[in-house]
Chains A and B, each alone.
Chain A
Amino acid sequence: MKSPEKSTEKTPTTNEPFAFSAANLETYKELLTRYDDVESALLPVLHLAQEQTGWLAENVITYISNLMSIPEIKIKEVISFYDMFYDVPVGRNIVQVCTNISCSMFGGREIYQGLLKHFDTGYLTPTRDGRISLQKMECLGACELAPCMRVNDDFVAITDLTSAIHKLEELP
Chain B
Amino acid sequence: MTEPIKTEVAKTEAAKADLVNLKWNGVDIQAEKGSNLLKAALDNGIEVAHYCYHAGLSIAGVCRMCMVEQDGNPRAFPSCNATCGEGMVIRNDTPKIKAAVEATLQFHLLNHPLDCPVCDQAGECGLQDYYMKHGVYDSQMIDKKVHKPKVQDIGKNVMLDAERCILCSRCARFTEEVTHTHELGILNRGDHAEITVNEELKNDYAQNLVDICPVGALTSKDFRFKQRVWFLKDVHTTCIGCETGCSVKVSQNKNGAYRVKPVYDHDVNGHWMCDDGRNIYKHVSSPTRLSSASENINGLFVPVDELSIQSKVKGLKPKYILSTGLTVEEYAQFFSSLKGSKVEVGLYTLPNLGADFDGILKRGDKNANLRGAKAAFAAAGFDSTQEGLDKILNSLSSNDVVYVVIPEILYNEDHFNTLIKKTEKAGMKLALTPGETLSTLRTFNYLLPVPSFLEKNGNIINHQGLSRPLRAGLNYGETSKDISYYGKWVNV
A and B touch in the complex (CB under 8 A): yes
Chain A residues packing against B (C-beta within 8 Å): 1-2, 4, 8, 71-74, 76-77, 80-81
Nearest chain B residue, comparing its CB with the CB of A79 = B187
Given contacts A73-B183, A77-B185, A80-B187, contact A4 B192 (CB under 8 A): yes
When A and B form their complex, what is the total count of cross-chain residue pairs whose Cβ atoms lie within 8 Å?
A: 34
Which residues in chain B, 178-198, are within 8 Å of chain A measured between CB atoms? 182-190, 192, 196-198
Report Cα–Cα, A2/B188, bound state, in Å: 8
Q: Are A73 and B188 in contact (CB under 8 A)?
A: no
Which residues in chain B, 181-226, are within 8 Å of chain A measured between CB atoms? 182-190, 192, 196-198
B189: contacting residue among A73, A74, A76, A81, CB under 8 A = A81
Q: Are A77 and B192 in contact (CB under 8 A)?
A: no
Q: Are A76 and B196 in contact (CB under 8 A)?
A: yes
Q: Are B185 and A74 in contact (CB under 8 A)?
A: yes
Interface size bracket, B side = 10 to 19
Q: Are A8 and B188 in contact (CB under 8 A)?
A: no
Nearest chain B residue, comparing its CB with the CB of A71 = B182
Most chain B beta-carbon neighbours within 10 Å: one of A2, A4, A8, A71: A71
Report Cα–Cα, A71/B187, bound state, in Å: 14
**B149: Cβ under 8 A from any A Cβ:** yes
Report Cα–Cα, A72/B196, bound state, in Å: 12
Report Cα–Cα, A1/B192, bound state, in Å: 8
Q: Are A8 and B149 in contact (CB under 8 A)?
A: yes
* A-chain residues with CB within 8 Å of residue B184 when the two chains form the complex: 73
Q: Are B198 and A81 in contact (CB under 8 A)?
A: no
The prevalent SS among residues of A at the interface is helix
Given contacts A4-B192, A8-B149, contact A74 B182 (CB under 8 A): yes
Report Cα–Cα, A80/B186, bound state, in Å: 9
Report Cα–Cα, A135/B151, bound state, in Å: 31
Q: Output the least CB separation between B398 and chain A (Å).
A: 63
Q: Output the least CB separation between A140 and chain B (Å).
A: 18
* B-chain residues with CB within 8 Å of residue A1 when the two chains form the complex: 188-190, 192
B185: contacting residue among A2, A4, A73, CB under 8 A = A73
Q: Output the least CB separation between A72 and chain B (Å).
A: 5
Nearest chain A residue, comparing its CB with the CB of B191 = A1
Q: Are A73 and B198 in contact (CB under 8 A)?
A: yes
Q: Output the least CB separation between B156 and chain A (Å).
A: 16
Q: Output the least CB separation between A28 and chain B (Å).
A: 22
* B-chain residues with CB within 8 Å of residue A71 when the two chains form the complex: 182, 198
Nearest chain A residue, comparing its CB with the CB of B176 = A71
* B-chain residues with CB within 8 Å of residue A2 when the two chains form the complex: 188, 192
The 8 closest A-B pairs by CB, nearest first: A71-B182, A1-B189, A73-B185, A73-B198, A80-B187, A77-B185, A80-B188, A72-B198
Q: Besides A73-B197, A76-B187, 18 other CB < 8 A contacts? A: A1-B190, A1-B192, A2-B188, A71-B198, A72-B182, A72-B198, A73-B183, A73-B184, A73-B185, A73-B196, A73-B198, A74-B185, A76-B185, A77-B186, A80-B187, A80-B188, A80-B189, A81-B189
Q: Output the least CB separation between B2 and chain A (Å).
A: 15
Q: Output the least CB separation between A60 and chain B (Å).
A: 15
* A-chain residues with CB within 8 Å of residue B183 when the two chains form the complex: 73
* A-chain residues with CB within 8 Å of residue B186 when the two chains form the complex: 77
Q: Are A73 and B149 in contact (CB under 8 A)?
A: no
* A-chain residues with CB within 8 Å of residue B187 when the two chains form the complex: 76-77, 80-81
Report Cα–Cα, A80/B183, bound state, in Å: 16
Report Cα–Cα, A81/B187, bound state, in Å: 7
Which residues in chain B, 146-177, are within 8 Å of chain A measured between CB atoms? 149
